[in-house]
Structure 1
């Protein structure tokens, strides 16, 4: 009975502290609370240790975010200035104010993961790559060469298997009714690239892999010239400045790491030769999948290739770790959806839908490229 009374007393104290924190600045857009109990970690990722639990409805203040906005640093501060709770949470589990603008929230310099807490060297390599990489000066040279070849700076395309062929990936950027929610800083890049995503890619098809991409038999006879491969056809017909590339789901079942590495490098080199910036992406995988460790090795190949060619990289594998089922459908390959056929980053969508998260990361990378190369090179995302 004494323990129950003590626990009840602690609960009352916490509620009192919560009330005090709420009285600080109830009108601030950065004031928020969780709609369910969630872990509070020491940094913006699942490899950071858990240090507390944020209980449902307890008010906290957002003080900074990661480079995307999928994790935010929150504090609960008492009226006397004492910080009662301090740590990082997934932003999708918060009751975010409709007035919150991530453009007004400082961006943290903390890494997206603590690789040293991973269980193996292979996983440490995967955790070491940021969710959104910086854009190198080498890509500025590629972009300028593309302009000389009459590529269009506002055009982006996608290259990949059935995960990329998903009609709700990338093409949503061309549809009206986009709800960016707090991700307001992405609006200009959505306006810039959005219309170009309306036409589907002939180099993103169900069943396509890194070998079929170079097989003219896989090219569409209605849109491609005789003898063209799907890759050649897509780059000719759209003349994009950027190509978002992801392969792995099909390849991991049929070829080994050496063959995958060779084909991905061939893809990169042919894309670069056309003056197109190749953006590589890791792919999500479930540890319970029989091909788990092979998928880890394939993803590490992607990271190494991006480093070797100084390419932009989206670490979707890392970003999807907090999602239920790692953002995957039951088949363990395709990204899951969450009941929307428009671009939705409000109401926590990226924390519950792998497909939605992937669209967010794609737009975030396009924003990084536009700000770094197309605009002032000193601009920050």
Structure 2
């Protein structure tokens, strides 16, 4: 939809603002479509947040009372068949109006960005986001998730039944979001990382239904299978252990995505959380060696000694693992020390032979002979 249709859908999506002020509604629509300033100086953000049913945030809508019901009915918000029904939950039609825009609105990328910024400005800001993801995009994706269940309330005639229309979330897939990011100024090389972070962004204090990754960016596995190799391992530092576990679980059930994200799995296998390390190793174990081995050599070369035990133990027990350990040990002596401790003479891998690498000399402070230092530690 273009031209008048896009304007009509935007006007309807923001219709509750007319209950605050007709000028505010006009200026907000003009801002989204044309880029002009949307907000009068004296706008009540508490009022707009309430009447828009908590825009851009994950969670149930605000409880709209009789006064808000009358104000919204007066400007045409509500199911026409239930305008006199005091039991009608008003947050349903309010959210439905925005869901209709998300499903059928043909806005340009810059217009979607401004709509997301408007959600932030008229509410309390997104409560599910991640470092590196723009607030406007977080608010937009949050709003897509929470409004989708209500799209049928205010959908055009003939589309109110779920079987008669496509899902809202299906339109907001990873490729759509990637195109939106690139069109609004994100560098192409950074786009896959931002998409991944947007998918794994978390909120606290809300229902698991709202906060589940399955509720946003459907098809993320296919996107990662095509672009996961462009996501740097440093991206994972912004994620909680819970989010990293979700990533490992999803990759573990999609071999193509796991193969493309092998370097991410290695980074998780030597990460800070032991449970995540073990899950990542399980996922790595199912990958073809020609895919995982180069990633393991690269990742182990810079891994912290305290995080190596699980992966070194695993590699010491699988065919070809010793070769990976030897290559990694050339850059990371901690790999050699741990492998030597795990593989003794009884296994045919004596530390004094196979794992005898040339390590840097031990430097002691003046006046601290080696024997004295040992005695001090034992005391």
Determine if the TM-score, normalized by the shorter chain, exceeds 0.5: no
Question: Which has more radius of gyration?
Answer: 2
Scaled by the length of structure 1, what TM-score is found?
A: 0.24
Decide which structure has greater helix share: 2
Higher relative contact order (CA 8 A, sep 6+): 1
Q: Is the strand fraction higher in 1 or 2? A: 1
